[in-house]
Structure 1
């Protein structure tokens, strides 16, 4: 089946560079079963779920001369063993070694002649654990009809559900001549849209308006966001390299909820206040000038309830809406409670605040939603100029019960968000089974001290927990 890329998908495909690849990544830590998790078992699990995510068996074909947006075509030579791979750490592998591996794998470009995703089974991890690292091109995931692969391979029971036999017959791949004729036909029937596609191909740009329409965003919300103006100057904004550093942090969801209950705010407010406190101390450790009015602006897309009723019987239903949220993190404020109060006020004045998704209700959604929610957040953020904010923070509420992958217990889950243009740091926060997991992706050169952030996040949370007692 041949389908043309949407305007936003085409922009993700065309606008990435070697230093800012548009991949959404995830790292899952699992308890190694007594008999282990074999590569063949994982391979079979992924293959069973591919009918739920048909884009993962399709590749992108360009149209000659850029006369139309590229198209999705079935990969007639699809080889799942190319995409699902195995790797190993020198046993017993440390968390630091795993994070270094994730940073290296995340820096490698995807092969654009094949479907745009990879998965790695990482063995040799200490403490009787194994890991799965996945990266998918942002163009693959739109959150509505196209989900992230991590969304569909997780189960709520240890025994995976039965799947019928998948008999996949790839469609015939069109020739270059057929693609050109198709483009000419669209020029006749939709000349305005095709002219826009041609401008995109020539200038490697896509209009913000086109992306916003694609995402179904209200014009008033866009104006409200853009009116904030350029982000403040920050060492977080610099030329980034193609190399990365990756680190993680975690905290008990009960601690965040205790702070929320004490100060009558949202868990997301507490998360942002914790990040603000950590960034404040990181700036001070670098000798950066931090005044009382100093702020760091974050793009923190928020998950909200959809307008329509959720059908939890199918993972292809709309799981939520993700809307843009620019927030100035008050890193110049020394008092953690005042920082939280300022962030909470910013959230309360956001028009979608009453309909925020809570981690306790995400369980009603089918599959494991966070990987797709993170991808949706990234999609929202990239529809705005990176000059409007200093860093990206995605926060995806997940199931608060034990999940399994191929019958193997899922212990921890971390997002690996991409770095945007001239941004040296991105943070993805996932709530799962009573914990919050912070995935911290940074430029290797610009943030050589990123390993400080986990302890700074812990200190920032401790400040708020102590104040809430």
Structure 2
């Protein structure tokens, strides 16, 4: 039995029937690589069951403390049933991409049963009309409660359910899992009561570690190395407000080499900056379509993992965040890239000054009753519809393996992320880089994005604008290089001509000095 951390409890407190707080993915597999060229559902079930002990999330359920007095506990589920967690459906014909997106959104909109281990996998067959996807492929729609994992530990879970080769990898460690009885409600209440009494002491101790970060932050604000403009100037848009029960999902796929090529638009930019700029361009196009484009830039919250090697394969959230304006007020893709890159550097400096790890540690000490009461008041009175937002969206970047991976022998060919939505943020983006592809997917509330096809087109159009900008930049550089080369060649010709003339004069002078004096011929 293990107790949750403060940040994990925040996600439990935020859970509502119409706004479940889980994250997930759409994984597409090509079974032609498996032995025999196909994979049956029972093969998938057997494969997952045989590797569950590699990820402790899989068989642990949460048990809440009476009256929400303290953080919930993780307990090994004595009634675990894998067939409840892994389901099987098929798309009706024609089985196209739009149908898969609708199915994924419907599955994702349903809350998890938090009396069981908080995860589900839905195997979807019938993907016979999706461009670039081989016939006979299938998808797995996964969802896991955010209290159990963050983006990085989600990758650990994915690694536990995949192999690096078609055949099984090296022998697995023995499964030593043992079920546990649910803890006593009276015992949890008593421990929670004591912890609440001693919590101020722990907070005071933790506060000491944040003092250096607060001093660095104050110093940076005085020197204007960073500021709070990203948070203070976030406009209110259709992407803010109270979340409805309905979800929309779509995604775009780009070549990794093209995304890396776009880094040339701004000196010092990273892959993440490129994806932020593309997202900012898409939000600009979408809001402009509805005549709702604000004068100030929309702002994103970008999670940052603070998980170290010792915390790999562990449950819970080890994340901080930075806040970055996406340059939606800038029409030029190149200028937006420069703006986003500069703002990202500022945001990283601010997070570094504060100390991302220290901020995360402080969140672990927030009193559970205050979390529960605050979340309930915020949702019940729909305060998200009345307060000024700090952010307009979320963009999280989760790297995946740079080499192909396999599940039950089937090769993973595409991966798209799905993000929980909470009151105040009705649009979220997930970036995945896998092998030679980068995917940018979005999860939206239907009230904010009723036309996901159009928003998907906006993502593509924004990417195309960036490609056009880098092509223009490359042509300009090539023209300057060619002009410089011509200038050098011209200079060399002048020098060679002068050297030839000088040699002729030297020869003429030498002959004259050996014979009768002659006047050198006129040029």
Question: Smaller-chain TM-score range?
Answer: 0.7 to 0.9
Q: How does 1:264-303 map to 2 (within 5 A)?
A: 264=267, 265-290=269-294, 293-302=295-304
Following the alignment from structure 2 to structure 1, what is the Cα–Cα distance between the partners of residues 467 and 42? Answer: 45
Following the alignment from structure 1 to structure 2, what is the Cα–Cα distance between the partners of residues 142 and 437? Answer: 19
Instruction: Evaluate the alpha carbon distance shift between residue 234 and residue 354 of structure 1 in structure 2; reply closer, same or farther with a 3 A threshold.
Output: closer
2:82 to 77, 80, 83: 80
Q: How does 1:188-207 map to 2 (within 5 A)?
A: 191-193=197-199
Q: How does 1:153-302 map to 2 (within 5 A)?
A: 153-161=161-169, 162-183=171-192, 186-187=194-195, 191-193=197-199, 228-229=231-232, 231-264=234-267, 265-290=269-294, 293-302=295-304
The Cα shift of 1:144 comes to 7.8
Following the alignment from structure 1 to structure 2, what is the Cα–Cα distance between the partners of residues 59 and 133? Answer: 20
User: 2:2 — aligned with what?
Assistant: 3
Q: Select the structure of larger CA radius of gyration.
A: 2
User: 2:441 — aligned with what?
Assistant: 439
Following the alignment from structure 1 to structure 2, what is the Cα–Cα distance between the partners of residues 167 and 262? Answer: 52
The Cα shift of 1:425 comes to 0.9
Instruction: Evaluate the alpha carbon distance shift between residue 169 and residue 316 of structure 1 in structure 2; reply closer, same or farther with a 3 A threshold.
Output: closer
User: 2:417 — aligned with what?
Assistant: 415
Instruction: Evaluate the alpha carbon distance shift between residue 24 and residue 463 of structure 1 in structure 2; reply closer, same or farther with a 3 A threshold.
Output: same
Following the alignment from structure 1 to structure 2, what is the Cα–Cα distance between the partners of residues 124 and 426? Answer: 28
Following the alignment from structure 1 to structure 2, what is the Cα–Cα distance between the partners of residues 146 and 91? Answer: 32
The Cα shift of 1:285 comes to 1.1
The Cα shift of 1:120 comes to 0.9
Instruction: Evaluate the alpha carbon distance shift between residue 454 and residue 121 of structure 1 in structure 2; reply closer, same or farther with a 3 A threshold.
Output: same
User: 1:132 — aligned with what?
Assistant: 140
Following the alignment from structure 2 to structure 1, what is the Cα–Cα distance between the partners of residues 151 and 398? Answer: 13
Instruction: Evaluate the alpha carbon distance shift between residue 213 and residue 226 of structure 1 in structure 2; reply closer, same or farther with a 3 A threshold.
Output: farther
| Maintained 8 Å contact 1:391/1:426 | yes
Following the alignment from structure 2 to structure 1, what is the Cα–Cα distance between the partners of residues 16 and 200? Answer: 24
User: 1:202 — aligned with what?
Assistant: none
Following the alignment from structure 1 to structure 2, what is the Cα–Cα distance between the partners of residues 336 and 275? Answer: 11
Structure 2 unaligned spans of 5+:
129-134, 353-359, 365-370, 379-383, 472-523
Instruction: Evaluate the alpha carbon distance shift between residue 47 and residue 211 of structure 1 in structure 2; reply closer, same or farther with a 3 A threshold.
Output: farther
CA RMSD, Structure 1 to Structure 2 (Å): 3.7
1:117 to 105, 116, 119: 119
Following the alignment from structure 1 to structure 2, what is the Cα–Cα distance between the partners of residues 194 and 245? Answer: 43
Instruction: Evaluate the alpha carbon distance shift between residue 51 and residue 211 of structure 1 in structure 2; reply closer, same or farther with a 3 A threshold.
Output: farther
The Cα shift of 1:142 comes to 4.9
Following the alignment from structure 2 to structure 1, what is the Cα–Cα distance between the partners of residues 301 and 147? Answer: 20
Structure 1 residues 270-322: Cα deviation after superposition (integer angstroms, max 9, x where no partner): 111111111111111112245xx431111123458x7x6x58xx95389x975
Instruction: Evaluate the alpha carbon distance shift between residue 117 and residue 106 of structure 1 in structure 2; reply closer, same or farther with a 3 A threshold.
Output: same
The Cα shift of 1:338 comes to 0.7
The Cα shift of 1:233 comes to 1.6
Count of residue pairs the alignment pairs up = 422
User: 2:515 — aligned with what?
Assistant: none
Q: Secondary structure at the match of 1:133?
A: strand
Instruction: Evaluate the alpha carbon distance shift between residue 97 and residue 225 of structure 1 in structure 2; reply closer, same or farther with a 3 A threshold.
Output: farther
Following the alignment from structure 1 to structure 2, what is the Cα–Cα distance between the partners of residues 118 and 467? Answer: 42
Q: Secondary structure at the match of 1:325?
A: strand
1:340 to 318, 337, 341: 337
Is the aligned partner of 1:26 residue 2:28?
no
User: 1:152 — aligned with what?
Assistant: 160
Following the alignment from structure 2 to structure 1, what is the Cα–Cα distance between the partners of residues 114 and 319? Answer: 28
Following the alignment from structure 1 to structure 2, what is the Cα–Cα distance between the partners of residues 354 and 64? Answer: 36
Structure 1 unaligned spans of 5+:
197-206, 356-375
The Cα shift of 1:351 comes to 3.8
